[in-house]
Chain A
Amino acid sequence: MDFGLTETQELIKASAKEFLEEKSDPAIVRAVADGDSEAIASLWKDIVELGWPSLTISEEHGGAGLTFSDLAVLLEELGASLAPTPIVESSISSWTIERFAPDALKADLLPKVAEGDILITPAIVERDASWNPEDSKLAATKSGSSLVITGEKRFVAFAEQATHALTLVRTDYDEPALIVVPIWKSDGVEQSPLKHSSGVPVSSLSFNELEVPETNIIATGDKAIEAANELIAAGGVARSAQLAGLGRAVVDATVEYTANREQFGVPVGSFQAVQHHLAEMAISAKQVNHLVHSAAWSFSQEGYSVDTAAQAKIAASDKIAALCWTAHQCHGAIGFTWEHDLHLYTRRALAWKTDYGDSTFHKSKLANAIGL
């Protein structure tokens, strides 16, 4: 057991922290939530220059070839800063492509992702809000050497910024297929933005006879389901890493506030009632942190552990949201205001809770994994 960070990870953490303190302050987070898409573009430009989208892409395809654990360390800092940027979306899409796509598709897409020329975001969920890949119904009809796609995907993060979506369709020969589709200024794709509590762009995508070459297919049949399941597990762990960072940031902010806010002539943080709230919050944050590292590590091994991936997302979803609510209690009335930044964290935590399978979804997966 080694709970420490490697030298590379320490470096990632320190440089991310420094960069994000300047480039993702609460004013930027608020601006993006208010619809400032230029702020997203400018942040993304810097992030591409830092090489973050290429972190886990293999060196063969123009990436840095780092591990999922390394990615998790970066994501914790992104979560702590609430950075409105599609690193999770991009990273897990390229992760899935690297693991499952045919060589030609990998060679075509991954170097472009690494360079920031394209941005791929997952589009899995449909009207029924299910993260079970078997439930995907988006219709794809074979036409020559193309698939013609018609139907809807919902809750697609950063679809406004993405050039491509990694989506799951059902073909007219009744097989699931995982496929990369162009969505940027495509005639066959219409976007409807949602007002989403994450404070970043989230949209529904309507496909109207969008023609996509079959060479864009990552996997079909059982392999497509397997790939989609791994995408969802990886996305869950990635979101959990962000939630871990977010939780730590909220604990820190609440310690800071209660250590300085005075009532009865003393800091309110000297009262046991408040201290015990904070001790419990700190335990939750620490537990999520450990579970995320354990799950991320399993992705660095052969295959990954369904068990630990599910544990991480269950804990991150439930414990970090609960921790945020307790933070509001510790902040008293000021934490109930629009002006105070605490609700930015809470909104994000509640949104991320639902992403890549909520706690109930992953409990069911976990139950299977432990032999129930």
Chain B
Amino acid sequence: MRFEFTAEESNFKSQLSAFLDDVLPNDWHGPADESRDDHWELNQEIKKGLAERGWLVMSWPKEYGGADSSPMMNTIFAEEMAYRRAPGHDRFGTRMFGPTLMRFGTEEQRTKYLGSIARGEIQWCQGYSEPNSGSDLASLQTKAVEDGDDFIVTGAKIWTSLAHRADMMFMLVRTDPEARPHKGISLILVDMKSPGVEVQPIVNMAGVHSFNQVVFDHVRVPKANLVGDLNDGWRAGMTVLNFERSGIDYAAWARAALEELIDYVNSDDAEVSAAKTDPTVRVKLAELHMEVEAARLMCYDVSYRQGKGEIPSSEASMSKVAASEVYLKVLDYGVDLLGMYGVLEPGSDQAELQGRFFKMRLFYTSGPILAGTNEIQKNIIAQRGLGLPRK
């Protein structure tokens, strides 16, 4: 048992923090999610800066431009980026697609794509969900039909974050409509500039354009863009989800938001008198602090186990559930604490904390929904973790 970072880890954290001090504007408060469309230039600048310092893909093996850094270092990286609400992290390329390609791609594909991700030159997006396939992903219907050296792709993907900024999409398509759902799926790579690809913006309930519907109308995709074997895409596709499923971003965002509330309560400028005088405020903030730290430790535990070569599937799901829920608890409490000011939107006159808490609360309604709903995560915990029978 040891509950502190190693000297190497602490040192890296300070270096990253110093870089972010330099690159982030003064009094920076967000956006907290890279898929946010505003501040795109800053996103690109930070991504390049991270790449130059060897941090963007430091988790990758050395042969692909990485540093073979430990899962704990990757978690520290993700945590610090999220804690500072810094954009430019590129989780689609670095955390999800890159590692999948290393495992399932051909040598030619690795050579072609990994370098540009490592250098921060390319934006990937993830084409999984469809209008009729959410949690039941294996029911997806977007089809790819073989035609000479190409596939012809027809269908629609939805909730595709950053599709409007992406150069390429890694997507799951149905290549054998006769096979059982999991068996007829393939993973292919699509150039977003291909004729027949149409990106239709979707504005979320927070008023932000972060995701899209992407319609494919007879889009030609070279067969060379197939990753893994034909009809064996489910395995590769699920590997991506394992890389995706961690709560550390939420735990870090929750900590940052909670600290903002503590500062607010301690500040002389706080307009809301209850923040100063109501004794239950202290108790509630203390409770949230405990919850945030509990979620944070769960995320560290996942990295610790990964570092030992385990695949902590149930623990990863636990961390996602715990952290996404505690983040909403902090945001809910923030909105409540601000009282009448809590519902003033960003840009409003008299908005306290710039209306951030209200907007973040709306935005992160998505937390327990995306990357596998928390209900799906609980199924995983119960069945894979606790060994309860499947129905």
Residues of chain A having any CB pair with chain B under 8 Å = 1-6, 9, 69, 251, 255, 258-259, 266-267, 269-272, 274-276, 278-280, 282-283, 286-288, 290-291, 293-294, 296-298, 308, 310-311, 314-315, 360, 363-364, 366-367, 370-372
**Chain B residues whose CB sits within 8 angstroms of the CB of A308 once the complex forms:** 3, 293
User: Given A255-B386, A279-B381, A282-B381, do A366 and B1 touch, yes or no (CB 8 Å)?
Assistant: no
Neighbouring A residues of B304 by C-beta, 8 Å = 1-4
Chain B interface, number of residues (Cβ within 8 angstroms): 47
Q: Which of B1, B265, B285, B382 contacts A278 (CB 8 A)?
A: B382
Task: Indicate if the CB atoms of A290 and B382 lie closer than 8 Å.
Answer: no
Asked if A296 and B286 make an inter-chain contact with CB atoms under 8 angstroms apart, the answer reads no
Q: Report B-chain residues with C-beta under 8 Å of the C-beta of A315.
A: 290, 294
Q: How far does the Cβ of A240 sit from chain B's closest Cβ, in whole Å?
A: 12
- List 14 interface pairs A-B (beta carbons < 8 Å), by A numbering: A1-B300, A2-B1, A2-B3, A5-B1, A6-B1, A267-B388, A278-B382, A282-B381, A282-B382, A287-B295, A297-B2, A297-B3, A315-B290, A364-B282
Closest B residue to A260 using CB positions: B389
* B391 interface hit (Cβ, 8 Å): yes
Closest beta carbon of chain A to B55's beta carbon, Å: 20
Interface of chain B: mostly helix, strand, loop or mixed: helix
B interface vs A, CB < 8 Å? 1-5, 72, 262, 265-266, 281-283, 285-287, 289-290, 293-295, 297-298, 300-301, 303-305, 308, 314-315, 318, 321-322, 375, 377-379, 381-383, 385-391
| Given A367-B282, A367-B283; A259-B389 close (CB under 8 Å) | yes
Give complex CA distance A178, B303 in Å. 44
CA distance A252 to B143 in the complex (A): 44
The reply to whether B286 and A367 form a contact with Cβ atoms under 8 Å apart is: yes
Task: Select which of A255, A267, A272, A363 is within 8 A of B286 by beta carbon.
Answer: A363
Q: Do B388 and A259 have beta carbons less than 8 Å apart?
A: yes
Do A370 and B382 touch across chains, with their CB atoms under 8 A apart? no
CA distance A252 to B305 in the complex (A): 21
Query: A311 contacts B290, CB within 8 Å?
Result: yes
The answer to whether B293 touches A275, judged by C-beta atoms less than 8 angstroms apart, is no
Is A9 in contact with B1, judged by CB distance below 8 angstroms? Answer: yes
9 closest pairs, A vs B, by CB? A275-B382, A279-B378, A290-B297, A279-B381, A287-B294, A366-B286, A367-B282, A2-B2, A363-B286
Q: Are A366 and B386 in contact, with the CB atoms below 8 A?
A: no
Tell me whether B282 and A294 are in contact (CB under 8 A). Answer: no
Contact B300 A3 (CB under 8 A): yes
Given A290-B301, A367-B283, A370-B286; A3-B389 close (CB under 8 Å): no
